[in-house]
Amino acid sequence: MLASVEMAVGVTTLDVKIGDLVEIGARRYEVVSDKVGGVTLEPAITRTVAEIHAEHGGHPLSSEKLKELLGDLPSDGEG
C-alpha cells in the first residue's frame, strides 16, 4: 500500500515580459510567448554569432560573397 505524501511548495512571482532572460539553477531561459496569451520559458541562446564562428573557424560572409554563393534567390522584400 502506498502512502500519500504532501509537500508544501512555495510560489515565486516574477515580473517578466517577453524577451527577458531568467536564470534558474545556473541555467538561462528566455521568456517567450506561448501563442495563447501567456508566456513560457525556453533555453536561452547564450552564445553570440561571433563566438560560434570563432569556435568553428568560420567568419561572416559579405553580402557580395553571399550573392555569389546563392545567386538570385526569390526575396520577400523584408531585408
Among 8-12, 24-28, 47-51, 73-77, the minimum mean pLDDT is found in 73-77
C-alpha cell read off for 67: 550573392
Q: Does some domain include residue 2?
A: no
Q: 40 has which bridge partners?
A: 32
Q: Is the pLDDT of residue 28 over 80?
A: yes
3-state SS assignment for residue 33: strand
Mean pLDDT of the chain: 85
Q: Is the pLDDT of residue 31 over 90?
A: yes
H or E element at residue 52: helix 49-56
Q: Does some domain include residue 42?
A: yes
Give me the pLDDT at residue 3, please.
66
Residue 34: which domain range? 21-70
Q: Does some domain include residue 39?
A: yes
Q: Does some domain include residue 45?
A: yes
Q: Residues 33-44: what's their mean pLDDT?
A: 92
Residues belonging to the chain: 79
* Count of structural domains within the chain: 1
